[in-house]
Structure 1
């Protein structure tokens, strides 16, 4: 029996799992009414059977005669009247009981709905406040117990929220403190870098000047050329660092620049570096007296980093090909090197990116140079194009000529 009840319960849960309280009330009322009607019907039916039995008995025992027939008909009318009275009494009593049952059901159902509404209103309001539930407004004992558990839960949540607020405030203070410490460290590093860059300029200038004077007085040898090439590489790195340190605080004005002569001067500056790497430059300029409106420091960073990058990655005994040509409104500076293919084009302009799988990857990286070049080109609307193959990598920079 218990197993059947459990199966019936599971069936009801599955079949009516989305029923509302109002629908449940209507169904319950109809069920009570149905049982009342069935109960009244069974009583009336039993009363009618008794009536039929009595009539049958009287008919069997009657004596034939006028007086006896009259008595039989009178008795039959009396029984019929009694049947009607009993039927009406049974029906009336059944519906009185139905009304009483329905009334009690409505009373307790109203109280049940009121308690449930208290819970619904509480859970609706508690999302915006920290109020607790008043168990005294609840009628049923089980719901009072639930209210006490709900209040305990609210107190626990309030405690967690309070600790979280305290933790957040503590974290905010710690973050602010750490941020200030980090800002002080960064400021100190920037100041140190500014000081280092500033102090490096003088000895580098002295080294280069002394080398030039020595070459004027003595014959140039390979060891001295190595020193000069190393000093020029350091000077190029110094120029990059100097630009990075000063770019946020120094205004770099633009001026009219003869780009052909400017490129030639930078090639001359790095020619000794190329020679020591067993490389040579091939500079072909299809234009003369072409001017661009650009800042000289930024232009030098683009050209110097492109040249030093080509020297770093070009195979020995090869030629670094540099060209300058003009289109209708633009001038194109390109530099090509015979070197290993670039495996990831999208990352070569990232700072400190290192090509994997390259024989040079263990010793060299693209450093900050190409990243600096990309930033300047984006600031000044200079287009960068790459022509890559298995044998040769070419970087192309397209500048707008003056007056365009």
Structure 2
């Protein structure tokens, strides 16, 4: 990058920071916000407080005070970020996922022995769910939560007094309690909708999609989804009918019910057989077009929670999408979707596979923008750091979306 191009990029960053930090009541807070983001975008492998302050040539205590104690709302910054990025990205979907941060100690808010995606096993870590605006060409996280395990909630912990002491040290507010990850995801979606954004589609992996309560919450809000499912997810075929048993005239009058026993999605796809598979190419990849074999069936999810949510009613019909790669003895992945019945198979596949962009976001945030470098021990500081890293990543996204300069004549 030439000196002129660097100066122009710095000017664009200053304008972008002024926009997303516009809710700050004081000019000095807006300056500290821009400095922090510049520190995350700058050179250097470590993006924690002390090395960033040294590279920026600013007072470390001032940077620390801005992050930990200054009176500003990270939710307002995320709202400004969402309003700025939604028209820039024009998302095809909102993708829900979570990222983990391995930790050595036990003082960081939310840290516990839990599944750590970064390590692929149970380990001592923090977990933060997020919502991303996504297309195949661009993406950006615009909302975050910190998952608090039960041991951080005095109303749920085996040792409530210890949980209360840990919360006090981490400055965790009273209204932040243990909430299942799927509910945190729904809360983030609701918050984004309160900010005036409208989800075109929600996409999530089986960690969220497997929970019938999560799918029901989206359906109740009229939000279409494509979510991962486990192979043992219970379903009925679309043509399954409710029937009423004969009534003897005594006792409770029978109600219509499904006489057919639910089967697993794995069994249903195996019954459909390889003859139902179609080869689909969904996007270009770094080593050529990405393609595999898929089958899409119309089914009625029939888990206990869903049956209880629809007593005396027909279970809703949705798509079951399964991937069965060539050379595999059985299907490898499954999704459920409420996209319309006339949705083309290729669109179903592209929607299910669009989660790949979130992996790009996490990789850039962690390797280049210091997402996991926060060394503080406070709940608010942690969420503010995630927010400011998202601002930095959003600026990178906007720079990638800028039209190339015309070639010289």
TM-score under structure 2 normalisation? 0.23
Higher CA-based Rg: 1
Structure ranking higher in strand proportion:
2
TM-score under structure 1 normalisation? 0.23
Q: Higher relative contact order at CA 8 Å, sep ≥6: structure 1 or structure 2?
A: 2
